[in-house]
């Protein structure tokens, strides 16, 4: 078949800081998905985009073309508002687990399509798969039925949603172009828009344990994604949130589920509760339910009831004992004082090395592995007190995990109590 454009001409335009037309962009995504553009050509184009960026109109058209590469879901038959949340990923970020059932308490359907962990950031599906019997893979019909009955579903995205993104992401991962903001934004938003949710709240993490270390870049990404949502008619808002320190007191899989259940039972770490409630408020407001009280629904057991139904609907047993690691080792405080820093990246890498994460998509994970923290920044500690417990089934992993934690902890004088703002800004 005769192609409408030539890949080399498209590359040259972006190389020379030009602007691609909507027709050129649509052809590029379609041709790459079909195999008419080679990987090396798309790699060159991705690098040109990373170096020279894209206009708002180009990014919007790129996202539209990614969506057009596959199917679009439609939840209008549910007869109720839909709202979703996407996090750019962090350490100890188990917020989706209590958040989805909490929002569903108020009659808003939550179609949460989630992913698996890669590197130091954990994956929601990996965490939930530590629940005995729970399954991530649902058909579209099963997903719709669960949304109608339970109101919330957390599952894997089907292969039919934005297939161009899957191909492009794999290429970016091995060509040093993951950081290109137009490509990050279109990757995330193409899947979320194709998913068909009516409103979307973005949790854009900032700090050492986040994908975006720099606040200005995180803000640019958030603003770009909010704009893409608006262009597509999806009510979208973003929060910039702090990821200098891990969320909660656990980083792993089963131990994060355990902590999420504590939150659903009305307890749990203050930062996890605070962010869960704040994101629930944003999702409910975006879905047209501004007067709901999510804090009350955590305390009175309504959110826990939805959680139990959601887990059962996907084959899991919410009452079953969660897997535990076979081996543990404690990391102790080296001095008296105030814990000033607990570096999120270091804790995430340690959990990954203990077996809670994976280096490649096909690698297995250990359900019980991870890091349990006994103190967070601001806490008084004494020399010899436990700071963290490392968990794994394979004790030979302890040494490398401890290497990752070598500079993770800073303890200072008792008068120095750090103040860390959890929610940095709101972008709408």
CA 79 to chain centroid, in Å, comes to 28
Pair 413, 338: CB distance under 8 Å: yes
94 with 221, same domain? Answer: yes
User: What's the domain range around 387?
Assistant: 327-412
Among 247, 260, 252, 259, CA closest to 120: 252
The pair of structure tokens assigned to 158 is 């089907």
User: For residue 155, what are the β-bridge partners?
Assistant: 113
266 with 394, same domain? Answer: no
253 with 342, same domain? Answer: no
206 with 298, same domain? Answer: yes
Picking from 255, 281, 313, the residue at the C-terminal end of a domain is: 313
Q: Among all chains, which residue has been given the structure tokens 């934690």?
A: 405
Q: Phi then psi for 54, rounded to 5 degrees?
A: -140, 155
Region class of 171: left (phi > 0), else alpha (psi between -120 and 50), else beta: alpha
220 with 303, same domain? Answer: yes
In a domain, 182, yes or no: no
267 with 352, same domain? Answer: no
Picking from 248, 280, 313, the residue at the C-terminal end of a domain is: 313
237 with 271, same domain? Answer: yes
Reported residue count of the chain is 428
**Residues recognised as catalytic:** 86, 165, 172, 187, 191
Q: What is the DSSP string of 393-414?
A: S-GGGHHHHHHHTTTTEEEE-T
Residue 118 is predicted with a pLDDT of: 65
304 with 337, same domain? Answer: no
Residue 179 is predicted with a pLDDT of: 85
In a domain, 424, yes or no: no
Residue 220 is predicted with a pLDDT of: 96
In a domain, 337, yes or no: yes
125 with 209, same domain? Answer: yes
Residue 194 is predicted with a pLDDT of: 94
Q: What is the DSSP string of 331-382?
A: EE-SSSEEEEEE-HHHHHHHHIIIIIS-SSTT----TT-EEEES--TT-EE-
In a domain, 170, yes or no: no
- H or E element: which one contains 204? strand 199-206
342 with 309, same domain? Answer: no
Residue 237 is predicted with a pLDDT of: 98
223 with 307, same domain? Answer: yes
In a domain, 60, yes or no: no
Give me the number of domains the chain comprises: 2
- Residue 51's Cβ-side half-sphere holds a number of Cα atoms within 13 Å equal to 15
The domain that contains 217 carries what CATH number?
3.40.1030.10
Residue 420 is predicted with a pLDDT of: 80
386 with 249, same domain? Answer: no
Picking from 283, 313, 343, the residue at the C-terminal end of a domain is: 313
Distance (Å, whole) CA 309 – CA 304: 9
Print pLDDT tens along the chain (428 aa): 689 999 999 999 999 999 999 999 999 999 999 999 999 999 999 999 999 999 999 999 999 999 999 999 999 999 999 999 999 989 999 999 999 999 999 999 999 998 877 667 778 999 999 999 999 999 999 999 999 999 999 999 887 889 999 899 889 878 888 889 999 999 999 999 999 999 999 999 999 999 899 999 999 999 999 999 999 999 999 999 999 999 999 999 999 999 999 999 999 999 999 999 999 999 999 999 999 999 999 999 999 999 999 999 999 999 999 999 999 999 999 999 999 999 999 999 999 999 998 877 677 899 999 999 999 999 999 999 999 999 999 999 999 999 999 999 999 987 766 678 999 999 99
């Amino acid at each position: 078949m005769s192609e409408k454009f030539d890949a080399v001409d498209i590359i040259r335009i972006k190389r020379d800081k030009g602007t691609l037309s909507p027709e050129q962009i649509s052809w590029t995504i379609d041709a790459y998905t079909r195999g008419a553009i080679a990987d090396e050509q798309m790699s060159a184009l991705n690098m040109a985009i990373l170096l020279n960026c894209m206009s708002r109109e180009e990014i919007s058209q790129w996202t539209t073309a990614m969506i057009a590469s596959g199917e679009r879901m439609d939840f209008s038959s549910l007869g109720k508002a839909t709202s979703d949340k996407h996090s750019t990923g962090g350490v100890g970020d188990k917020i989706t687990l209590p958040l989805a059932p909490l929002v569903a308490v108020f009659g808003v359907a939550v179609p949460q399509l989630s992913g698996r962990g890669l590197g130091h950031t954990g994956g929601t599906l990996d965490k939930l798969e530590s629940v005995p019997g729970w399954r991530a893979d649902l058909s579209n019909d099963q997903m719709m039925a669960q949304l109608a009955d339970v109101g919330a579903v957390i599952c894997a995205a089907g292969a039919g949603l934005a297939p161009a993104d899957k191909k492009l992401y794999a290429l970016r991962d091995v060509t040093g172009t993951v950081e290109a903001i137009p490509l990050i934004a279109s990757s995330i938003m193409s899947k979320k828009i194709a998913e068909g949710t009516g409103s979307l709240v973005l949790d854009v993490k900032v700090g050492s344990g986040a994908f975006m270390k720099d606040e200005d870049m995180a803000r640019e990404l958030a603003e770009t994604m909010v704009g893409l949502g608006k262009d597509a008619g999806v009510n979208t808002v973003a929060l910039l949130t702090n990821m200098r320190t891990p969320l909660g007191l656990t980083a792993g899989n089963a131990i994060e589920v355990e902590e999420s259940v504590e939150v659903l039972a009305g307890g749990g770490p203050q930062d996890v509760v605070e962010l869960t409630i704040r994101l629930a408020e944003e999702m409910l407001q975006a879905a047209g339910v501004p007067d709901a009280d999510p804090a009350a629904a955590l305390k009175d057991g309504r959110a826990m009831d939805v959680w139990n139904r959601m887990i059962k609907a996907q084959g899991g047993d919410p009452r079953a004992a969660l897997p535990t690691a076979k081996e543990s080792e404690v990391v102790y405080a080296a001095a008296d004082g105030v814990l000033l820093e607990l570096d999120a990246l270091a804790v995430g890498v340690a959990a990954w090395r203990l077996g809670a994460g994976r280096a490649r998509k096909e690698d297995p994970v250990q359900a019980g592995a991870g890091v349990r923290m006994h103190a967070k920044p601001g806490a008084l500690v004494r020399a010899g007190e436990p700071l963290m417990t490392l968990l794994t089934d394979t004790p030979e992993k302890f040494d490398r995990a401890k290497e990752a934690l070598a500079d993770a902890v800073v303890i200072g004088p008792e008068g120095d109590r750090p103040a860390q703002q959890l929610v940095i800004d709101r972008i709408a």
